[in-house]
Each structure stands twice: as structure tokens, then as C-alpha cells.
Amino acid sequence: MSDTLDLAQELIRRRSVTPEDAGCQQLIAERLAPLGFEAHHLRFEDVDNLWLRRGSEGPVLAFAGHTDVVPTGPVEKWSSDPFQPQIRNGQLYGRGAADMKSSIAAFVTACEAFLKDHPDHKGSIAMLITSDEEGPSVNGTVKVVEWLEARGEKITWALVGEPSSTERLGDVIKNGRRGSLSGVLRVRGQQGHVAYPHLADNPVHRALPALAELAAIEWDEGNEHFPPTSFQISNIHAGTGAENVIPGELEVMFNLRFSTEQTDEGIRTRVHAVLDAHGLDYELSWRLSGHPFLTAEGELVEAASAAIREVMGLDTELSTAGGTSDGRFIAPTGAQVVELGPLNASIHKIDEHVRVEDLDALSRIYTGILKRLLAD
């Protein structure tokens, strides 16, 4: 047993399915209060957020994460209750074990270990914790960042505890993310009987050539930091459910994960040009989840890489692959942002788990980063 493991299990026991926090943030605030962390509990709409800070000067190293978890799925398919953590064969099982309550536990114990040796550290240590990362992400980190900006508080370095590792703890650091742009396309036609197509207008038939063209576009080749931009159709729906009715409308949902070779405005313009060229009667609504961002090699990347090398004995890989994270809301403020956490193989799955031995190792890595950036 260890302090990090104990705290991770205590957090997993709290049924914080997004956007619920279930008291996780209060637990963290109370634990760190004796160490001099000032707590601001920030509730926006139905979302609880926590900003903790020790120190009043810069630079500011902020640990960023989320206490909310995704729904469990069919509980009967789990090997054990997803909110009753269990250790089996060296693995800690439970919803949120990997994504990302173990990282939050390691945040806390790393701060405790660092402050024991460096009570008069330079700058400030902070934590930005939300319960809206797995949900719409509209009342969480983005709102806290706006609140910080209004107060004139700046994060210098943000370490997001998302599960970044693939085979071994620390083998991958995410130092950037692609942008994410989603669209909902509605193509209008005219409903009718399949036996009388001349009296109807099938929106599926009209839209398919345009969709095929969009799917075939090579948007770019990526660059040294990002893979090529990707267009993917995620949902498509039309019809009444009857086999003899031509549908009157087609709905298509799609997403583009885009590199720094693209802008969201450029993508929108090109998509509309394709749809217009095919003469479609349509409406298209867009949702931009985040712009691409990149933290080049600098103090934060160097500190994280060195700490991983010290604790794990391996050289880490820098990557921008994968989905989005709340780092996209912090990076535009000018902060350096990296993601570093446990293995991601089981996240959002039945029987989510994390290696028990990785918990203390992750805490030591975080402690090493604190030492390299803020030691007095």
C-alpha cells in the first residue's frame, strides 16, 4: 500500500460520472489545505471546478485534470463493481483508475513529497481540477481559464494528467493536440414512394457523391509534429424505417481532426465549396472543439523528459496523436502544456485498470518535474 494508491482508491469510490464530482474536489482541497494551498471552488451551471494555489508569485506550475468519469456501461460485464476499487494481479481496477483519478492522486502526493523538502520553493504550485472534461466541456476548464485571465493570473507550465503512456509509464508525452471540428449536415430532398422516384427527390442519392469527394480529399500531409488532417463520417441517418419510402432528409455527422497546416475557417470554406458544387439543398452547423496547439521543446518538456529518465530509465517520445484534452483551453493563454499520465490501453473500457506499481512511479515523476522547475 502507498499514499498514492490509497488516495486513488478513495477517489474511485466516489461515483463522479460526468458532470458529477461527488466530493472529489473537496477531498483534494482539504488534504492540501494544511500545506498552504488556497482553494477556490468555482461552480458554473452544473459543473464543479477547483483552483488551488500555493504561492503568489510566478512562475506557476499547474497540474490540470478532471474528477469526472465516463459512464460504466453494463455493470454486469465488469469483473467487479466499477466504483469499488479492487487490486488483482498487480492491477488496480475501477472506473477512472486510468482516466484519470490515479493521476490526480499522484498530483497530490507529489506536491506533499516536494513540499517536505522544499517548503520555500520559488514561484507557485497550482491545481486546476474540473468535472466537465468527459462531458460537453463548456463549464469546466474553459470557464476557469476565463476566470483566471480576468484576475490576471497566468499559468506558466501546465501538466495535464491525461493517460499518455502506451507500453510503459512515461514512454509518451503529449506535447500538443490536433484541432477538432465537427459538422452536422442536413440535406433536404422530397419524400415519396420508391416506386415513383420521379415524384420524389432522394437526398441520399444526391449527397453520396459529395460525401465521397469529401472523404477522398487529401487535406494535407501533416508536418514534423502532426499527422495529416483526417475527415471521418461518424453518423448517418435517413428514412422512416420503411423500405418503400424515399426519405425527405439526410443527416450526416462528421469530424475533422486537423493539424497546424489547416485553419478551421479554411476547412469550412472547402467543405461548403464541395457541397455547393454538387448543387445540394442543405444546411450545415459547425462546432469547433479546439484549435491545434503545440508546446515546443522547452523548460516543461525538458523537465518532464528528465524526470521520466530518472525514474523509469527510458527516453520518452513526444507525440500529438490521439483525441483532444483540456490542454486546448490552457495553451492559448501562452502556457507551455504537456500531458503525462498512466497507460491508456483500458480507458473508457469495461474493467478499466492501471498498474499498481505505476502509481508511486508517476508520483515520483511529478515530484521530479516540480524539483526541476520550482526547487529553491
Active site residues: 68, 133
Among positive and negative, which fits the CA dihedral 226, 228, 229, 231?
Answer: negative
Q: What is the dihedral of CA 335, 67, 165, 260, to 10 degrees?
A: -40
CB atoms within 10 A of CB 171: 17
Among positive and negative, which fits the CA dihedral 257, 259, 265, 266?
Answer: negative
Bond from prior residue into 59 cis (ω within 30 degrees of 0) = yes
CB atoms within 10 A of CB 334: 9
Among positive and negative, which fits the CA dihedral 360, 90, 321, 264?
Answer: negative
What distance in Å separates the CA atoms of residue 348 and residue 96, rounded to the nearest whole number? Answer: 8
Beta carbons within 8 Å of 55's beta carbon, 6+ residues apart? 121, 123, 124, 125
